[in-house]
Amino acid sequence: MKVSEVMSGEVYVVQKQDTIRDAAQLMRSKDIGSVPVSADDKLVGMITDRDIVLRALADGLDPSTPVSRIMSEGIKYCFDDDDLRDVARNMSELQVRRLPVVDRAKKLVGFVSLSNVADAGDRKATEKLLEGTAKPH
């Protein structure tokens, strides 16, 4: 099974110059906990609700601070035509519950998450992913 068969195609992105407030408002309105950060149509990072709390709020940063100041860089991703089991294994090794999905031109086309893998009905892929993401760190 390919990632494109199970991924979520809804994608919301912030630009690296957008503010922490912009990101938080997007997360609230779309009921999501993370959003990729883009610059010049390329993925350059990821910002999570946890980043906002621990890297911004806890450090007293102003809500008008650009997301580039608190985002995680070195974003990991998979391709839409990758095999789901391979991606689940990779997600387990990376200890992540979701990955951005890009096409071969590296355009963001969706997200694959733990729930997408579980809903796919591939028990082996789900078990592998849970090994790395459902255990306490």
Q: How confident is the model at residue 124 (pLDDT cuts 50, 70, 90)?
A: confident
- Pairing verdict, β 98-102 and 78-79: parallel
- Cβ within 8 Å of residue 27, ≥6 positions away: 33, 34, 35, 49
pLDDT, residue 133, reads 67
pTM of the prediction? 0.80
pLDDT, residue 77, reads 94
Between CA 30 and CA 66 the distance in angstroms is 20
The closest of 119, 129, 121 to 86, measured between CA atoms, is: 129
Instruction: Write out the DSSP string of 67-126.
Output: GGGT-B-S---EETTSBHHHHHHHHHHHT-SEEEEE-TT--EEEEEEHHHHHHTT-HHHH
CB neighbours of residue 73 within 10 Å: 9
**Residue 103 pLDDT more than 80?**
yes
Q: How confident is the model at residue 40 (pLDDT cuts 50, 70, 90)?
A: confident
CB neighbours of residue 69 within 10 Å: 14
Q: How confident is the model at residue 120 (pLDDT cuts 50, 70, 90)?
A: confident
Name the residue with tokens 């008008």: 64
> What is the average pLDDT across 45-53?
95
Mean pLDDT of the chain: 90
Structural domains of the chain sorted by starting position, each given as residue range(s) with its CATH number in brackets: 3-133 (3.10.580.10)
pLDDT, residue 132, reads 66
